[in-house]
Amino acid sequence: MTIGQIPSSSVFSRLARLGAAPRLAGLDLARGLAIIGMIAAHTYPTADVFSLFDVQSYNAIVHGHPSLLFALLAGVSISLMTKAAWKTKSAEAVTTARINLMIRGIIIFGFGLLLESLGTSIMVILTLYGALYMVMLPFVTATSRALLWWSAGIMVVGPPLIAVTQTLMPSNGFGYALVFQSIYSPAAWTSLMLLGMYVGRLDLGSFQVLAKLAGAGVGLMVLSSGLALVLGIMLPGLMSFADSSSSPITAEQKKELYSAEDVPPETVPSEDFDFTKYECERFDKAYIGCTLTGSKEDLDKKKGESEEEIINQWSEVGERLVEPDLVPTILAVWIASEPHAGGTLEIMGSGGLALVVVSVCLMVAARLRWLALPIVALGTMPLTVYSLHVLSVFIMVGPGGVVRVPWFFWTTAGVFLLFSVCWFAFFAHGPLERVVRYAVQKVTGSYAGVRASE
């Protein structure tokens, strides 16, 4: 070995293989950017609204867009993982691919529940992400054209369908909350995961294909912004309704919606408050929780009645069906474009941006190999880094705490980047990714063994 020659087993040779076939460094780069964007959204003080003419508002781009970029990349990864299934369509390949997705979805969902149990202020993305792996199972063998049509259809029909369901059939169950009340819109995620599955079937090594994808992304962004601008001029009232539909109710709106007798004052001495209409329960020495139940006479009457009862609520469903706000609500979710609104225009605009980011990353990753290496390394272990991010916030501020200071973002992002590079220098997959990979190999290997013995 001559002086200066690097042994094949050295750290540098391992890092040099980062992003090498069969992995696509550009996808890891885009995935790393998405994770860093989500970390910034949770821990960096940013502007609330992005404005093209206000440079200081540019950091608001981290709201909503990184998570939907991650959704698109999830679809691309699914296509790459299930390539044998959608190419050959053999029964064994399809079954193995679906088992692969099921196991990954279950484990990711489980990690999401564990992170949610920490009680941080972060809306954990992994539970919905894991659940949607199950939704993708029927699409493993779908044609590329079918994937596009399904993506477009869910983009248009999904948001109003969710809005109508929330209005007509309100519920507080866990599954219902996961699908219909999450800050991460299942319609947006499903649509972009399907679009990502379509993208994953293209020749991502072709510059012409990537240029077309980037052009399509720009077109979607322009169309989304243009429609929002035109509708804002033509229907200003509806746009205001769309912008405020996901905002907390103000005191003035509360006064308009409810009569004075239904809304108790913000503060009142306990001796002056009429508790006869409330059922109260003491939680500790300082607090009690009260629920409005009716007058004292109603409560006395209820105590003397049998526990058997029938309460028919279909009339309330009918009343909601003819509410004057129902149609504006449906129209509003079509045109809502603000982050996490789950509206059609938001899905269109964020999906277009995601296509541009993925295309550009695939174009430049090879040329910026060493410069982009830390972000690429981070992108190879998104589950691990995202989990560490939630854990770091929990350690820093505890359950329900909030930390939005630049030094915390830069410190944790720097530590995660350094950790990713050091880990990849010795291992090919992140810690939690190794857990998922091991489980998938065990289950699919057992299935293959059963098939071979038949």
Contacts of 77 (CB under 8 A, 6+ apart): 27, 196, 200
Q: What pTM does this model have?
A: 0.78
**HEC letters along the chain:** CCCCCCCCCCHHHHHHCCCCCCCCHHHHHHHHHHHHHHHHHHHCCCCCCCCCCCHHHHHHHHCCHHHHHHHHHHHHHHHHHCHHHHHHCCHHHHHHHHHHHHHHHHHHHHHHHHHHCCCCCCCCCHHHHHHHHHHCHHHCCCCHHHHHHHHHHHHHHHHHHHHHHHHHCCCCCHHHHHHHCCCCCHHHHHHHHHHHHHHHCCCCCCHHHHHHHHHHHHHHHHHHHHHHHHHHHHCHHHHHHHHHCCCCCCHHHHHHHCCHHHCCCCCCCHHHCCCCCEEEEECCCCCEEEEECCCHHHHHHHHCCCCCCCCCCHHHHHHHHCCCCHHHHHHHHHHCCCCCCCCHHHHHHHHHHHHHHHHHHHHHCCCCCCCCHHHHHHHCCHHHHHHHHHHHHHHHHCCCCCCCCHHHHHHHHHHHHHHHHHHHCCCCCCHHHHHHHHHHHHHHHHHHHHHHHC
**Token pair 């990711």 is at which residue?**
108
Angle between helices 65-81 and 126-135 (to 10 degrees): 40
- C-alpha span between 185 and 207 (Å, rounded): 32
- C-alpha span between 408 and 418 (Å, rounded): 15
**Token pair 């830069």 is at which residue?**
410
Report the half-sphere exposure of 30 (CA within 13 A, side-chain side): 29
Q: Is 25 in contact with 19 (CB distance < 8 Å)?
A: yes
Contacts of 360 (CB under 8 A, 6+ apart): 214
The pLDDT of residue 4 is: 37
- C-alpha span between 228 and 223 (Å, rounded): 8
| Whole-Å CA distances, 88 to 84, 91, 166, 200, 217 | 6, 9, 41, 16, 30
User: What's the token pair of residue 245?
Assistant: 């539909």
**Token pair 């989304």 is at which residue?**
224
- C-alpha span between 135 and 139 (Å, rounded): 8
- C-alpha span between 100 and 441 (Å, rounded): 8
User: What's the token pair of residue 390?
Assistant: 């939630």
- C-alpha span between 291 and 285 (Å, rounded): 18
- C-alpha span between 177 and 183 (Å, rounded): 10
Distance of CA 10 to the CA centre of its chain: 38
Q: Is 227 in contact with 345 (CB distance < 8 Å)?
A: yes
The pLDDT of residue 60 is: 77
pLDDT 10s digit of each residue in the chain, 454 long? 333 333 445 666 666 665 555 568 899 999 999 999 999 999 988 877 766 666 566 677 888 889 999 999 999 999 999 988 888 888 888 998 999 999 999 999 999 999 999 989 898 999 999 999 999 999 999 999 999 999 999 999 988 888 777 777 766 666 667 666 667 888 899 999 999 999 999 999 899 999 999 999 999 999 988 887 777 666 655 555 555 554 433 444 444 444 444 444 455 566 566 666 666 666 555 556 666 665 555 555 555 555 666 666 666 666 666 565 666 677 777 777 677 777 888 899 999 999 999 999 999 987 887 788 899 999 999 999 999 999 999 999 998 888 899 999 999 999 999 999 999 888 878 899 999 999 988 887 754 443 433 3
Neighbour tally for 282: CB within 10 Å: 9
The pLDDT of residue 317 is: 62
Bridge partner residues of 282 (DSSP): 288
Bridge partner residues of 128 (DSSP): none
